[in-house]
Chain A
Amino acid sequence: MRVGIDRRLIYHFDWAVFVLTFAIALVGLLSVASASFSVHRPFQMLIIRQIIWTVAGGAAMFAVVMFDYRALASYAYPIYVAVMGLLVVVGVIGQATGGSRRWINLGLFTLEPSELAKLALILVLVRYLREDPPPGGLRLRHIIVPALLLAVPAGLVLKQPDLGTMLTMVLIFATVIFAAGINLRTMGILALGAVLAMPVAWHTLKPYQKERVLTFLNPQSDPLGAGYHVIQSEIAVGSGGSWGKGFLKGTQARLNFLPEQTTDFIFSVFAEEFGFAGSMLLLGLYAGLIGRGLTIALRARDRFGALLALGLTAMVFWQAAINIGMATGILPVVGIPLPLVSYGGSSLIVLMAAMGLLISINTRRYLF
């Protein structure tokens, strides 16, 4: 394990990921400021906290960059077990908000273990799959263990209930398994199985979750009820127009027409105030970050690093795509934060650390 400043580390530092991460986090600060600004509450602690977390996230990012990612392979299982322990704990003593138990109150701040769980899942999956696949690709028996590794956190998170995070985990799992070389026929069978399992899954959904799916299929069916969120979000985004209404001038956000506007619907706040230009800029930043992440995966010297880079990139991609898709009404409403933008310390710090990991992978391909 090599810790410490290497001259080559500075020389090969990945500025692209660094700049893109902070640019998106800056968009996040603007949006959180705007989302928490309203006539009744002109000043909010929210933005102060988000600034503190951005700084903390930056520190975490540098700490991770210093760290040789290859050492993580040997810590993957202990980390996984520890985080699963946290997930169990949160289910027991967690702080309930809005019908779900997701947070552990640590006094100074509340920790959301499911954010850590995504990272732990990536690590453990990649650790397990770091050996080259057998000829003909991974078959069902090869992915039983990874599937179990997924099932534990996914099940615990669904229990909270946090459908969004569960979905994110499943998508990360699918992405990593695909890249790791799953046999395409096996993948087809799994996909078919997933489709067949859907009616079963439908019964495990909570009534409000079912309603959300139904609403997505026809939002106008109940414009004041369940469809309200989607319609108001589309109105916010659309009324932004080309250049937006201006910072702090979004009426939909300021007058509280948007639901969950600091977290799930933060994109609508940003899009209303900065318009199509702002949306394209943000989308471009994500595309840049994701593109860079994939490039790092391609260039990584070892399979562990490549799959790890892909897993981290997939985490950013799926969350960004689903969140924006939901805010613009092309996907059903599931609670998924917009990476690096939504208000929330755990998510922000975990993601910045993850981006630090990407930088670390890219930087260390010269160190072998």
Chain B
Amino acid sequence: MAVLSRRKGKLAVPKLEPRLTALSILMMLVLGAVALRLYYLQIIKTHQMADLADRNRIRIRRLPASRGLIFDRRHRVLVDTRPSYDAVLVPEDLRDRAATLRNLERYLGGDHVEDKLTQAEDEGIPSSEPVTIKERLSWDQVVAIETHQLELPGVSIQVTPRRRYIYGPLAAHLLGYVGEVNEQELKKLPGYHMGDEIGKFGLERGWEDYLRGVSGNQEIEVDAVGRRLRVLSEKPEKPGANVILTIDLDLQEAAEQALGNHAGAIVAIDPRNGEILAMVSHPSFDPNEFASGLTAAQWRRLMSDPAHPLEDRAIQGTYPPGSTFKLVDTVAGLEDRMLNKATSFYCPGGMWYGNREYRCWRKQGHGTVGLINAIIESCDVYFYNVGERLGVDRIAQWAHKLGFGEATGIPLAHEKTGTIPSTQWKQRRYHERWYPAETLSVAIGQGYVAVTPLQLAQLAAEIGEGGIRYQPHFVNRIEALDGSAIKVYQPEVAARIPLTPEQVEILHAGACGVVNSPMGTAHKAAIPGIEVCGKTGTAQVVKEAAGARIKEEDLPERYRDHGWFIAWAPGNDPRIAVACVVEHGGHGGSSAAPIVRDLLVRYFQLYPPGQPLPAGTLANASATTRENGD
């Protein structure tokens, strides 16, 4: 070592030499130790350290894909996505936590910032993940935060596309809603991240895979206080595909308007292909509230509302079909060769069976009635006889063939099947034998029978279409952003029943008479110039006490009967089939029929029938309806 060299022979200060030598050794050892430490850090641990350095400076920022739009059948936007400006904070980048939070609260004009952070910590969200402090900032708030960046290290504005339901509650049950992806969904579904939107209900849920798109990401270099300096790399997002519905916005609005404040449901279908033109369930809810995240109070209010706004009555509401079920009896009887055009029964106003009288709705009776008039006048005794002769199992068999007691397969979750009783069903359900008298109730659509509005709309469509029933659907096609079709939904035949032309003619004559004959129960649904066919129904809510007859108007509303009307038009070549239930509306002829009429009028204004109508007919018809409407 040069330090210790004795090149010059004699040292000048000999007494110092040993101590200086010792110090030299000590110093070189210390420098050697430092060199070893550098070797350890820079050679052995370098990959780990380089990785940590990158993690320091690189933040991965997800670019959420904008969700596909939803259009009506005529390409009008029903649901879109707008940017929402949210304030987010990366806890890891906070330096002076108290000061930053204080400033932030000042600019946002609110508190809870601390709470949101603690909540995120409690949920175990890593401190490098941004925490959303406040959503949907006003423009002033955005400007305040952007201009005070230096006082707010770690805080930034995140632009998030957010769902907007332009018409609020319109068709809410069908469209559904989106919400933030939850813990279970994150576990189950790959490709979702905390804070992502996911379809929770309705179409939004069913078509999630098309609507959601593919999110991209950005690698962003940040400095020590978390300021974003530059984008290192970027994988752009792919927006979701657009969904075009078979729903017609105008018709949907007309249906909602026609139903007004009544609780109930309307389903309108194109019988030629099963396309749903309008589907209303009232009361409804505003899916926008879900998209921005419901508060606990909002959720409680929706859940505990006695009117059940979240229930989709069109597919989940099950009601006794009342007299509309007589069309099912008719089909069953005709198919079973038990009935023909000439079959007639005598109606004295009631029928004794066992030791009880089963009344006809018309106290004075209908006298001797044939099949077509029995449908027109909705004679109960006639169909008691039909029911008695067919037996419950025959009725049930044909009801199933017509789609009752089964899910229609509409692509919405939680569809109800309703109930079609049979001897077997009763044995299974109640472990009891079937009493023949119960068949009489079934024949007039009361008792155990329960159907959904969609099923009845399908019945109207099927009879109108002469025995062909199409799969009900509400999505016409899926389009890419450039308008090219990704998927087109073709009509599918769900079932056929063999009906001879004569049988079709009988059903047609009966249903047409319901609306157009002076004796018909639904003359309020008549539209001059258009042949409307249909059938009314009144579903009992409480069983009548034998012999007692209480006037509907005297009953408290919740005990009043549900009113039904199903229809198709034009009669000879139907393009629209409708079912409408008005909860506690009383007789179908007075409650539901005018509503359906309004809807049909609107439909034919929008889609005029082939033959030209006398000028003003439709407009006048509409005006009259409003006068007569209840």
Residue of B nearest to A244 (CB): B42
A321 touches B31 (CB 8 A): yes
From known contacts A283-B38, A294-B24, A306-B16, infer whether A235 and B2 are also in contact, taking CB-CB under 8 Å. Answer: no
Q: Mark A290-329, 1 if CB is under 8 A from B, else 0.
A: 1110110111111100110010001001000100110011
User: Which of A175, A255, A295, A310 interacts with B221 by CB under 8 Å?
Assistant: A255
Is A108 part of the contact surface with B, judged by Cβ < 8 Å? no
Is A241 part of the contact surface with B, judged by Cβ < 8 Å? yes
Is B298 part of the contact surface with A, judged by Cβ < 8 Å? no
From known contacts A255-B56, A257-B56, A321-B31, infer whether A310 and B41 are also in contact, taking CB-CB under 8 Å. Answer: no
Residue of A nearest to B49 (CB): A238
Q: How far is B2's CA from A287's CA once the two chains are assembled, in angstroms?
A: 11
Which residues from B are CB-within-8-Å of A91?
none
B28 touches A234 (CB 8 A): no
Q: How far is B17's CA from A365's CA once the two chains are assembled, in angstroms?
A: 17
User: Which of A240, A255, A283, A310 interacts with B222 by CB under 8 Å?
Assistant: A255
B27 touches A317 (CB 8 A): yes
From known contacts A238-B50, A299-B8, infer whether A280 and B16 are also in contact, taking CB-CB under 8 Å. Answer: no
Q: How far is B33's CA from A324's CA once the two chains are assembled, in angstroms?
A: 11
Most central of A238, A279, A295 by chain B CB within 10 Å:
A238
Is B342 part of the contact surface with A, judged by Cβ < 8 Å? no
Residue of B nearest to A296 (CB): B3
A252 touches B56 (CB 8 A): yes
Which residues from A are CB-within-8-Å of B5?
295
Is A224 part of the contact surface with B, judged by Cβ < 8 Å? yes
A255 touches B223 (CB 8 A): yes
> Shortest beta-carbon distance, A271 to chain B, in Å?
7
User: Which of A291, A295, A303 interacts with B13 by CB under 8 Å?
Assistant: A303
Is B92 part of the contact surface with A, judged by Cβ < 8 Å? yes
A241 touches B13 (CB 8 A): no
Is A286 part of the contact surface with B, judged by Cβ < 8 Å? yes
A234 touches B41 (CB 8 A): yes
A236 touches B12 (CB 8 A): no
Which residues from B are CB-within-8-Å of A279?
38, 42
From known contacts A239-B53, A255-B222, A287-B28, infer whether A365 and B12 are also in contact, taking CB-CB under 8 Å. Answer: yes
Which residues from A are CB-within-8-Å of B50?
238-239, 241
Which residues from B are CB-within-8-Å of A242?
42-43, 46
Which residues from A are CB-within-8-Å of B229?
39, 255
> Shortest beta-carbon distance, B42 to chain A, in Å?
4
From known contacts A179-B20, A301-B12, A321-B30, infer whether A283 and B46 are also in contact, taking CB-CB under 8 Å. Answer: no
Residue of A nearest to B17 (CB): A298
Is B35 part of the contact surface with A, judged by Cβ < 8 Å? yes
Residue of A nearest to B47 (CB): A241
Which of chain A's residues 44-80 have a Cβ closer than 8 Å to chain B? none
B48 touches A283 (CB 8 A): no
Residue of B nearest to A132 (CB): B15
Is A178 part of the contact surface with B, judged by Cβ < 8 Å? yes
User: Which of A180, A224, A237, A297 interacts with B38 by CB under 8 Å?
Assistant: A237
Q: How far is B35's CA from A325's CA once the two chains are assembled, in angstroms?
A: 10
B34 touches A324 (CB 8 A): yes
Q: How far is B92's CA from A202's CA once the two chains are assembled, in angstroms?
A: 32
B48 touches A238 (CB 8 A): yes
Q: How far is B36's CA from A283's CA once the two chains are assembled, in angstroms?
A: 11
Most central of A178, A235, A301 by chain B CB within 10 Å:
A235
Is A276 part of the contact surface with B, judged by Cβ < 8 Å? yes
B12 touches A235 (CB 8 A): no
Chain A interface residue count, CB cutoff 8 Å, equals 58
Residue of A nearest to B14 (CB): A298
Q: Mark B457-487, 1 if CB is under 8 A from A, else 0.
A: 0000000000000000000000000000000
Which residues from B are CB-within-8-Å of A276?
38-39, 42-43
Q: How far is B532's CA from A177's CA once the two chains are assembled, in angstroms?
A: 118
Is A146 part of the contact surface with B, judged by Cβ < 8 Å? no
Which residues from B are CB-within-8-Å of A329?
37, 41
User: Which of B16, B38, B53 interacts with A307 by CB under 8 Å?
Assistant: B16
Residue of B nearest to A254 (CB): B223
> Shortest beta-carbon distance, B518 to chain A, in Å?
87
Which residues from B are CB-within-8-Å of A133?
15
Q: Mark A255-284, 1 if CB is under 8 A from B, else 0.
A: 111000000000000010001100110010
Residue of A nearest to B58 (CB): A251
Residue of B nearest to A309 (CB): B20
> Shortest beta-carbon distance, B362 to chain A, in Å?
85
Q: How far is B55's CA from A232's CA once the two chains are assembled, in angstroms?
A: 12
B42 touches A302 (CB 8 A): no
Residue of B nearest to A237 (CB): B41
Which of chain A's residues 144-179 have a Cβ closer than 8 Å to chain B? 175, 178-179
Residue of B nearest to A286 (CB): B31
Which residues from A are CB-within-8-Å of B297?
none
Is A181 part of the contact surface with B, judged by Cβ < 8 Å? yes
From known contacts A294-B23, A299-B8, infer whether A239 and B49 are also in contact, taking CB-CB under 8 Å. Answer: yes
Is B181 part of the contact surface with A, judged by Cβ < 8 Å? no
* 17 examples of A-B residue contacts, CB within 8 angstroms: A224-B127, A236-B53, A240-B42, A251-B53, A251-B54, A251-B56, A251-B221, A255-B224, A276-B42, A287-B28, A291-B28, A292-B2, A298-B11, A300-B12, A306-B20, A321-B27, A328-B38
Nearest 3 interchain pairs by C-beta: A238-B49, A239-B53, A276-B42
B residues whose Cβ falls under 8 Å from a Cβ of A = 1-5, 8, 11-13, 15-17, 19-20, 22-24, 27-28, 30-31, 33-35, 37-39, 41-43, 45-46, 48-50, 52-54, 56-57, 92, 127, 221-225, 229
A residues whose Cβ falls under 8 Å from a Cβ of B = 38-40, 132-133, 175, 178-181, 224, 232, 234-242, 251-252, 255-257, 271, 275-276, 279-280, 283, 286-287, 290-292, 294-295, 297-303, 306-307, 310, 314, 317, 321, 324-325, 328-330, 365
